Structure 1
Amino acid sequence: MRSKVSFALMGIVLATGLTACSSSDDGNQEFSSAYIQFYNGSANSALTTMRGTEKSTIRGSSSYGDSTSLIGVDGGFTEIEFFRTDSDDQEVILETRDVDIPNGQKTLVVMTGDFASPTFNEYRFTREELSDHFRLFAMSVVADQSSYDLYMSESGAPFEQANLLATVNYEGFEEMEYWAPDEVDDFNEGSYTIYLTEPGSTDVIFESNTITFQFATEYVLIIRGSSGALQSGVEVDLVLNSSTVSNYDDVDASAQYRIYNSLDNDGITVSLNGNGDTNPSVDLAANSKTDFTEVQFGDYRLTATSNSDATLNFNNRLVTLSQGASKAILIYQNENDALTSLSFNESTQPQVYDKQVVAANLVSDFTDVDLYFVRKDETIESAQYLISSIDFGESKTVTLPSDFYELVAVFDDNEDTQVLLDRTVLLGLNEEINYIITIEESLDSPTGYKISLLK
């Protein structure tokens, strides 16, 4: 059987360089190229880009919990740098280093720690031609938890029948050993459940939904902390060979929501009830919102009634709150003045350097509203960041750096005449929170419309 291989950290590479085997030592003929991939495991990071200083083919970006695609390059030593872009659109170099990328091997670069002074570690393994089997590697990027016991079971089997694969340490990297090998030592393709406990304990602190390992390739399982508006535990990422990372929350992870009443002159009574659960109703004054409310995940029934006109209401609106999700619910009036709602998931990304801002158009008079984020040295013609064509009752998202912005909402009519709906003063979008922007009707605005910034 293949022995379990442990890959030591390579932090000393900055001073000494790597001493991994060269391409001449590699007997694998199935994968003749060299491969590199970058995973962002720094919980308070910005979008980070990896690029080769001489080979332009090495380039990719990833935010927290994401990876670049697998990049094939010529084998050998290559100088690579990592950088972010600040609010002045200037590159901030985080790290420059020589990386050995041997032919036939995959080099995974993982960024961990505080983004103010991040750590970059390299892990590599020889790629293999697999058939109906997969290999599994595991590591942790949770800095405040030294290690986890990783268990795995066939789908449908309880924890009592799960198999202890390894104790996974922070910044450690190990290949897992299959507990029931057949003609080969690798894992059989199929459906499994992942469990995590504290070392030596049988109290489960994380249980995944069923995970289907359907590709004959190498999987890297990465344990990381949750982020964004709801930070309540750990999550598991599965990194393959693309920029799409499969993320799994604990099956029992909670969810949360907040509700905004966009009506100008009317309070509402609103409730969100689950199957058999009755939560207290909430009275929301005009143009106000609730704080986040944490609840069990599940499907909920949303009801809302105007405090001044009982006929202005809706019942039985479905709102689904998934594990680890944070949802915003906006109450507004549609083109027929009936009460209605719009809901969307809020970002799970860190909001330290980059802001994932959601904007919603609640103005029935205009469709395809453009929202510009104008910095002090810009106009709407030169503004780098905007959300275009937001339909009535629709929300869209933009990612922009932490900075001060004037928000300008514009509608282009059929004659290409721009109608200014509203503009704000310079506002600081620079707190570590999730922002929501709404474009609404307003009796108090000179234009009849207003931009609201919710946080």
Structure 2
Amino acid sequence: MLKNNLYPALALSFATAMLTACGGGGGNNNEKSDDVNETRIQVYNASPNSTGLTYEFEKNNETTHIASFITFGDASGLTQVSKNGTHEVTVSGIDANGDREDILEDVEVNIRNDQRNIVFTYGIYPEIALAEFDFNLNDLFDDTMRFLVADFKVNSPGYDVYVGIADEGFSAAELWATSVPGTMFEVGDFETDTYDIYLTSTGTTDILFTAEDVNMEAETGYIIVLRDTFGPSNSGVAIDKMTSSSTVVSYEDAFGAAQYRFMNLIDQTVNSQIVSGDDTYTQDDIAPYTASPYDVVNYNDYKIFLTDESDEEIYRGVVMSLPQNATMGAAIYHDKEDAVKVLTFPESVRQLTYQVDVNFVNLTTDIDQVDVYFVEEGKTIETTPYTFQSVDFEEVETGNLPTNSYRVNVVIETEDHTLEMVYQSEMFDFQDDFNYTMLLYNDPDTPFGYNVMFAGADASVNTLNQ
């Protein structure tokens, strides 16, 4: 069983609360009567460089609600609470030492009776802010949905929001709203349907962003959140669709570009070509044990071709899927039969504060499974909390690591249940301007017979001040 102790994914806990979320990010549940005699809270983290945040609501020194480890672009489920009125909210996250600390303390919010109370955190972490809004569905008619817009993109200029029936094109869309940075508001009630949503510069029809096939077929409220995104996107904006569920449905620009790079783990220089229809892109002279720079390409599904320095084909095959605004890595390596193979996987270029995103890839041909430990000064593999457990051959593990210097230790468990070291790095400085992909491979020239390529992804180019 795989175990990942590097800040595991979303965990939610609730005090004095009963979870009453609908399923599936919008679904087809009828929620029109849900607000009667009920007071509810939902939180959403719009701070793009933040760690996972925990929100604690108190009234008269009594904890009424807790939402734990809400990451950027995620929400808690809409949860019923027993008390309304003024609450104090404390928001905690990770500090520069990797410890949890209070980022906002005792911020007053007014939790209204019989309402859906939505609390947003937004801005550059740790200088974040809190905003609270409320609405209900008490007067929603049959076959209609309530449309709301929230704009929490950093330094947002505001956008005109055009909406049209799916597949009918922008010319058939109508201007429904103009976003107001740092706020949420009700736009109105509309027929339930599947729509396309367009963002333009205010006062123009210059399309900056398109979300296709946004399902709004349930009789409920849909909050369209404008937020930051990372990668080759020109606009730097994406949208999330929120309902009462903790499942947030995200939309990147339907016509956005993608980017990719290769990491060469074989002992020869490689030329690469990716092909899809009329689109062909090349990266030549990828030296052994190096990573190529990212190339920005049209989104599509591409077939990969590799040749050696004599232009002899050494590989063709795997499809690299590059969806809109995606960042993908592709590792070139030898499989257990010594054939050249390619493994593709997503990479993160989101700039974090006090943390880095890390991938670890096991590409050793003679080890089925390894454990990976990130060891700070003064710690050992027995005392560090930062570890990937049981990483199989050709498996990619992903997690978050507090910014610091670590020694990376890779070990295996022998048949007599002792640990054997197969790789140990020098102290390595994990900087929060970078995210990292680490690839374990066979290297007979090293003391243990194995090595790790550290392939940094510069996240500082994804400025949050655009």
Q: 1:10-29 maps to which residues of 2 (within 5 A)?
A: none
* Residue of structure 2 aligned with 1:109, choices 119, 136, 153: 119
Number of aligned residues? 418
Amino acid of the residue matched to residue 271 of structure 1?
Q
Aligned to 1:406: 407
Give the structure, 1 or 2, with the largest relative contact order (CA under 8 Å, sep 6 or more): 2
- Runs of 4+ in structure 1 deviating by more than 6 angstroms, as ranges, are none
Of the three residues 251, 254, 263, the one matched with 1:251 is 254
Give the deviation of 1:230 after TM superposition.
Answer: 6.2
Change in 2 beyond 3 A, CA 1:172/1:30? closer
Letter in 2 for 1:163: E
Matched, 1:80 2:89: yes
Partner residue, 2:48: 43
Q: RMSD between aligned alpha carbons?
A: 2.1
Aligned match for 1:215, one of 203, 206, 218 = 218
**CA offset at residue 443 of structure 1?**
2.3
Shift of 1:242: 2.6
Matches of 1:30 and 1:82, distance apart in 2: 26
1:83–1:93 Cα contact (<8 Å) kept: yes
3-state SS of 2:434 partner: coil
Does structure 1 conserve the Cα–Cα contact (< 8 Å) formed by 2:35 and 2:115?
Answer: no
- The letter of the residue matching 2:130 is F
Aligned partner of 1:33 in structure 2 is 38
Q: What does residue 62 of structure 1 align with?
A: 70
1:344 is matched with: 345
Task: Give matches, 1:251-400, under 5 Å.
Answer: 251-263=254-266, 265-307=267-309, 310=312, 313-347=314-348, 349-400=350-401
Distance apart, 1:388 and its partner CA: 1.1
Alpha-carbon separation, structure 2, partners of 1:274 and 1:111: 41
Instruction: Report the CA distance between 1:227 and its aligned residue.
Output: 2.4
**SS of alignment partner, residue 224 of structure 2:** strand
Change (3 A) 1:167 1:30: closer
Contact 1:39 1:66 in 2 (8 A): yes
Q: Percent identity?
A: 28
Whole-angstrom distance in 1 between the partners of 2:311 and 2:298:
32
What's the CA shift for 1:308?
A: 7.4
Cα distance change, pair 66–350 in 1 and its aligned pair in 2 (3 A): farther
Further displaced range: 270-279 or 251-260: 270-279
SS of residue paired to 2:422? strand
Distance 2:432 2:160 in 1: 36
2:422 match: 421
**What amino acid does structure 1 have at the position aligned with 2:48?**
A
Q: How far did residue 314 of structure 1 move? A: 1.3
- Name the residue aligned to 2:5: none
Matched, 1:91 2:100: yes
Runs of at least 5 residues in structure 2 that lack an aligned partner in the other structure: 1-32, 457-466
Q: How far apart are residue 386 of structure 1 and its match?
A: 0.9
Cα distance, 1:447 vs structure 2: 0.9
CA distance in 1, matches of 2:247, 2:123: 22
SS at match of 1:169: coil
Give distance in 2, aligned partners of 1:57 and 1:155. Answer: 39
Is contact 1:230-1:325 (8 Å) kept?
no
Counterpart secondary structure, 2:87 = strand
Unaligned runs of 5+ in 1: 1-27, 178-185
Give 1:273 shift: 2.0
* TM-score normalised according to structure 1 size: 0.87
Q: Is the 8 A contact 1:260 1:287 kept in 2?
A: yes
Higher strand proportion: 2
In the aligned structure 1, how far is the partner of 2:252 from the partner of 2:128?
25
The one-letter amino acid paired with 1:102 is R
Residue 159 (1) aligns with residue 170 (2): yes
- SS of corresponding position for 2:171: helix
What does residue 245 of structure 2 align with? 242
CA change 1:450–1:203 in 2 (3 A) is same
